[in-house]
Structure 1
């Protein structure tokens, strides 16, 4: 049994390659080799990664996955409170992002244990970067619901989302998900299917959702990341836009920020909104 100390250890979330082991950060090898504990989603995958990095963990290695995350978190927290350095790795990418790790991060923060990370490969950011879709504002939606009804409701709720959206999906559900997205967002909504990123058969297929759904009907293999364009701006009357700006400014928001936001959402000119709002305030 570990004994808490006045000097807690550190929780390290370590990003692992999403395909090519050469993408591993130099710090990853150091952390894995020197950690007191390495908590891995799949210890066999960790072993293969360590072989590729030509290192051998000196501390203990234990499994930490979705089926034992809740039960194993208290033990790992105890080891952190005893002053140990615990490194968490998942099969690919950053722990806690659609992978185990969040429970331990929350527990560590509550116990005032330092939490840091080793940055590295991210399927989310890589897919966004190569998609060709807008990158200035985006959101990560993880895996869509598996059941058709729940999936349809979740996608309908996102139909008006103006930011570029990023999803994960299993290859055997890809066609159904793309078809559901075409129904909820429109068949012409631009999207990109990013498959096997950084691996031998890497592929990025771009097109409208309807086109991509038809393409995927023949079957697609590998790790899939979906990037979907946000809802196009809804063009409205300038007077209505100015009224919307003034209403938000009256609630305490900055005029310049509101004009930019309303312009992005409606397609109206930011300058026209700004000048119109100033003119309206001057005459009221």
Structure 2
């Protein structure tokens, strides 16, 4: 190992407006020994616009080669080389490759420094008008409906605001699944083209967003910020509506456990709440 080990720099890049890149980020990109990017073509265009000469310093790092490249990159940092990791847009690692490399460098006790900047997560959360904390970044949803619906249900285990990256190619289908699993009355804000010329935002219930113009003709990149369960439109779930939905699920052939889960997902409440409402209804019936 070199007496003076190198540094792995995590450098945020703009998500839409080139002027959002900080002078410090520009300086680091211009001086490091190596730049790692998920898409080298996009990175080359960005660096050319910044008048940063690549000079053989640009390499790819993506989900298919990251594990294989970690040992050689780790060796470079040990030898004193400086490396900058960038993503196609925004802050690296959060929804992009790089975690394995960062972990390896950290475990080796070598320097990892983050250069703050643009992030779709924080930008959307700040502008959405939904409760900002606690919140969780959910990344992109699976492309297939079955895994997608299961993933949505898994994400909604706590009363947290959800920040979800949506694919423009699947926008209508993803909004429909979110409506189905989380409940149509759940409040949310759909943001498009953040920091770009045609930035726009739409707030309403998931039902309204799923049937809106944006779902019919998607254009650009989307982030959805979904309010916590207990802050969805309409206040607390109507007990009679919950009981009716539970009975409907049973009538359709679900067993009690499945009916509890389906009803809880439909209204965005806990299964325990559904159970308590159904149990109280049974108790009242016995007394009568």
TM-score band, normalised by shorter chain: 0.7 to 0.9
Q: Residues of 1 paired with 2:74 and 2:66: CA distance? A: 12
Does structure 1 residue 135 correspond to structure 2 residue 132? yes
Q: Residues of 1 paired with 2:44 and 2:87: CA distance? A: 12
Does structure 1 residue 232 correspond to structure 2 residue 214? no
Displacement of 1:58 in angstroms is 5.8
- Offset from partner CA, 1:47-75 (integer Å, 9 cap, x none): 22223223324672111122221222222
1:112 to 109, 114, 125: 109
Asked if the contact 1:124–1:140 (Cα under 8 Å) also holds between the matched residues in 2, the reply is yes
Larger deviation, residues 212-221 vs 165-174: 212-221
Q: Residues of 1 paired with 2:194 and 2:68: CA distance? A: 33
- What is residue 169 of structure 2 aligned with on the other side? 172
2:120 to 119, 123, 128: 123
Does structure 1 residue 54 correspond to structure 2 residue 51? yes
- What is residue 91 of structure 2 aligned with on the other side? 94
Q: Residues of 2 paired with 1:75 and 1:218: CA distance? A: 47
- What is residue 189 of structure 2 aligned with on the other side? 192
Secondary structure of the residue aligned to 1:192 is strand
Displacement of 1:160 in angstroms is 4.8
- What is residue 19 of structure 1 aligned with on the other side? 16
Asked if the contact 1:171–1:221 (Cα under 8 Å) also holds between the matched residues in 2, the reply is yes
- What is residue 222 of structure 1 aligned with on the other side? 220
- For the aligned residue pairs, the C-alpha RMSD in angstroms reads 2.0
Asked if the contact 1:160–1:231 (Cα under 8 Å) also holds between the matched residues in 2, the reply is no
Q: Residues of 2 paired with 1:217 and 1:109: CA distance? A: 42
Q: 1:103 to 1:207 in 2, by over 3 A?
A: same
Q: Residues of 2 paired with 1:231 and 1:131: CA distance? A: 16
| 1:196-215 equivalences in 2 (<5 Å) | 196-215=193-212
Larger deviation, residues 51-60 vs 72-81: 51-60
Q: Residues of 2 paired with 1:230 and 1:28: CA distance? A: 35
Q: Residues of 2 paired with 1:39 and 1:156: CA distance? A: 35
- Offset from partner CA, 1:234-273 (integer Å, 9 cap, x none): 98xxxxxxxxxxxxxxxxxxxxxxxxxxxxx99xxxxxxx
Displacement of 1:138 in angstroms is 0.8
Q: Residues of 2 paired with 1:158 and 1:106: CA distance? A: 24
Secondary structure of the residue aligned to 2:211 is helix
Displacement of 1:37 in angstroms is 0.8
Q: Residues of 2 paired with 1:155 and 1:47: CA distance? A: 35
| 1:20-35 equivalences in 2 (<5 Å) | 20-35=17-32
Residue segments in structure 2 that go unaligned for 5+ positions in a row: 237-268, 271-288
Q: Residues of 1 paired with 2:134 and 2:198: CA distance? A: 29
| Aligned positions, number | 234
Residue segments in structure 1 that go unaligned for 5+ positions in a row: 236-264, 267-284
What TM-score comes out, normalization by structure 2 length? 0.76
